[in-house]
Amino acid sequence: MGNSESNESAAVKRQAEGGSTPMYEILDLKGGGTLFYITKRAMIKKDYKELDEAIKAKVQPYLYNGGQGKMVPIAQLTMLRNRDRSKSKQV
């Protein structure tokens, strides 16, 4: 028959298993990583201050403009979305 999972999801899993991406040290697909253990501790203690600080410190480098984001006109978002869609699904 066919594969039970798509090639795309298999590629994502293989990428995470390699451990070459620093982001997966923060949180991985196997239920581990720095944030996982900090979250577990925070839930037990009912004190989320350490978790909030860890998220701000560890996740911020992966965000656009240090987490400040960017204002993008809706027309530009629509063009970007349509670029990746098939003709029948374009808006």
Q: Give the C-alpha separation, 91 to 49, whole Å.
A: 43
Q: What is the pTM of this model?
A: 0.54
Domain boundaries of the chain, sorted by first residue: 7-89
What pLDDT band is residue 63 in, cutting at 50, 70 and 90?
A: confident
Any residues with CB less than 8 A from the CB of 48 and at least 6 apart, and which? 42
Better pLDDT: 60 or 29: 60
Report whether pLDDT(48) > 80. Answer: yes
